[in-house]
Structure 1
Amino acid sequence: MQNCVIASTSTIHGSGPLEYLFDTLIELYKDSEQILFIPYARPGGISLDEYTIGVNNIFKKINKRILGIHMFSDITEAFENTQGVFTGGGNTFLLVNQLYRNNVLEPLKQAIDTGVPYLGTSAGSNICGLTMQTTNDMPIVHPPSLKTLGVMPFNINAHYLDPDPNSTHKGETRETRIKEFHKLNPQPVVGLREASWLRIQENDIQLKGEFSARIFEQNKIPYEIEPDSSLLGLN
């Protein structure tokens, strides 16, 4: 039984990293003292060690210890006794590339499917969809595949932004880009706004946070769902 928090972002305005999620994370990791961290997305190009140290300092505030997956010489060993997993944000292309090249994707999927508590933020949330094709990130590397974990039967667009009617920018909006995606791909896309997250628990997927999410389905008009709504039937 999956037990996940899939968040649009790690940080919201006026709050420290992950602080807006602390109560949720205390509940998610209530039986976990040590959490396996996957730092492959490397925001801003920082090193794996720098990213891991920073995350460990955050998790100390809720009395949890972080171990970076890169600290293990064997991936099987990394997942053998893990009590929880966190995949942080950064560049989704880089993250997926490293998940494939380090043979992490399958053991990560197995851990999630067997109930190991999982937190994803930003890129770490994008990989929970069927593919990473609805990320906002630049393709700075070329992953072996765009297929990802498929924890949910749809794709995520983290950091979803609504069109600004007062903007003078004439380029594509997020909604336009997702509609382009649906010209060639069938799976739904959840536009997950900042400070929103999906809670996967007890065979359900619920939207949490203060804001609605925008749902895109192929050949349908986009629509909104409110917090505490179930997305279980979206496929």
Structure 2
Amino acid sequence: MELLLLSNSVLPGSGYLEFAVPALQKQLAGRRKALFIPFAGVTQGWDAYSDKVRAALAPLNLEISGIHEAADPVAALADAEIVMVGGGNTFNLLKECRARGLLEPIRQAVTKGALYVGWSAGSNLTCPTIRTTNDMPIVDPGGFDALDLFPLQINPHFTNALPQGHQGETREQRIRELLALEPTLEVIGLPEGCWIAVSDGHAQLGGAHPALLFKADAPAASLPAGHRFF
């Protein structure tokens, strides 16, 4: 199984998905035909979102089509060499995929050899559930169960910073609430600019920053770039 799970899409001073191009290029292995799933986009149209991704990844010479344009989305997934899932609102992404009956076809496409590339909400979708998203539940997705392609929970855009004077919980406190109720879970706090690449049965942390691994009743473990999860 081949996965590229990005925390985010933009870094300060760089273009959309620019930092991710080298990591994506490394995993392409000759794949060119990509199907983009734009359903996390809420405040931008799905056509515009697809065009934005095509422009950003133009240096890779990929053939990118939007799944919302396909006459038969399930057949399009079966034919895709790359499945791309963009960021935005994870609840809307899951709702739209579930309503269209796409969760199992996505899972089958990836297990049969398609490269899955997700960022932010798209990375959340590969987890067992979407319960570690940062997004507001603006729609009811009909349940939190997701693709379960990656065995751990990911919290993208991870930061523990709080603005001065802010009285809300830190991100770690929110994750600890989940672990108090579900102590068997493990959660990766994935900072911006970082990713997890799954290839040849191994999952490795990429990027310039350490990630944090949260387990119930244990201090957060700092994981350096290059760390292998399995």
User: What letter is aligned with 1:192?
Assistant: L
Specify the alignment match of 1:55 in structure 2: 53
Once residues 8 and 161 of structure 2 are traced to their aligned partners in structure 1, the CA distance between those partners, rounded to angstroms, is 19
Contact 1:59/1:66 (<8 A) preserved:
no
1:1-235 alignment runs, 5 A limit: 2-43=1-42, 45-164=43-162, 167-185=164-182, 186-232=184-230
User: What letter is aligned with 2:167?
Assistant: K
Offset of residue 115 of structure 1:
2.1
Partner of 1:86, secondary structure, is strand
Partner of 1:12, secondary structure, is coil
The Cα offsets for residues 62-119 of structure 1, whole Å up to 9 and x where unpaired, read as 2112100011122221112211111000000000001100111111111111221111
Dislocated runs of 4+, deviation >3 Å: none
Offset of residue 59 of structure 1:
1.9
Contact 2:77/2:109 (<8 A) preserved:
yes
Contact 1:37/1:52 (<8 A) preserved:
yes
Partner of 1:183, secondary structure, is helix
Once residues 113 and 99 of structure 1 are traced to their aligned partners in structure 2, the CA distance between those partners, rounded to angstroms, is 18
Contact 1:29/1:117 (<8 A) preserved:
yes
Contact 2:77/2:83 (<8 A) preserved:
no
Contact 1:75/1:103 (<8 A) preserved:
no
User: What letter is aligned with 2:73?
Assistant: I
TM-score in terms of structure 2 length: 0.96
Once residues 198 and 112 of structure 1 are traced to their aligned partners in structure 2, the CA distance between those partners, rounded to angstroms, is 16
Q: Which range moves more in the overlay, 208-217 or 110-119?
A: 110-119
Unaligned runs of 5+ in 2: none
Once residues 187 and 73 of structure 1 are traced to their aligned partners in structure 2, the CA distance between those partners, rounded to angstroms, is 39
Once residues 92 and 191 of structure 1 are traced to their aligned partners in structure 2, the CA distance between those partners, rounded to angstroms, is 17
Once residues 200 and 29 of structure 2 are traced to their aligned partners in structure 1, the CA distance between those partners, rounded to angstroms, is 16
Partner of 2:10, secondary structure, is coil
Once residues 33 and 183 of structure 1 are traced to their aligned partners in structure 2, the CA distance between those partners, rounded to angstroms, is 43
Unaligned runs of 5+ in 1: none
Partner of 1:35, secondary structure, is strand
Contact 2:196/2:203 (<8 A) preserved:
yes
Root-mean-square deviation (Å): 1.2
TM-score in terms of structure 1 length: 0.94
Q: Which range moves more in the overlay, 73-82 or 178-187?
A: 73-82
The percent of aligned pairs where both chains have the same amino acid is 34
Contact 2:133/2:156 (<8 A) preserved:
yes
